[in-house]
Amino acid sequence: MKTINSAAELKLAIQQLELQHTIQGEVLKDQFLVTIEGFTPINLLKNALNEIARSPYLIDNIIGSAMGLATGYLSKLVAVGGSNSIVKKLLGSVVQFGVTNIVAQHPEMFKSVGNFLMDLIFHKKKENIV
């Protein structure tokens, strides 16, 4: 800040500081209102859901788990079939558990195999069409 040598310069400096104080006070009030609005329960919930929806890792984990559960269930159906045997049902549950864990832990491998099979099927159809 420059040196003040007269009463007029002092008065001008005070006015400038008062104006700056008023502007900063208004900015602070506006920011406070924005912050309060951001902490309302509906906005907190909305922001949390948006973050969840934008998280690619969470979506990949959900897809992997769903693939694991579906393949585990299908493998149990194949292993047990319509049998009423307790041993077969127990064996089917063990198979289901194993397949579910393997697929859920390595979904990228099963996605790539599925994509390869889909490309193979649809690629042959395209060749037959042309």
Give Cβ neighbours of residue 4 (< 8 Å, ≥ 6 apart).
10, 13
Structure tokens that stand for 109 in this block: 């491998």
Q: pTM of the predicted model, to two decimals?
A: 0.46
Each residue's pLDDT, cut to its tens digit, for the chain (130 residues) gives 688 889 999 999 999 999 999 999 999 999 999 999 888 889 888 888 888 778 777 777 777 888 888 888 888 888 887 778 888 888 888 888 888 888 888 877 877 877 887 888 887 655 555 5
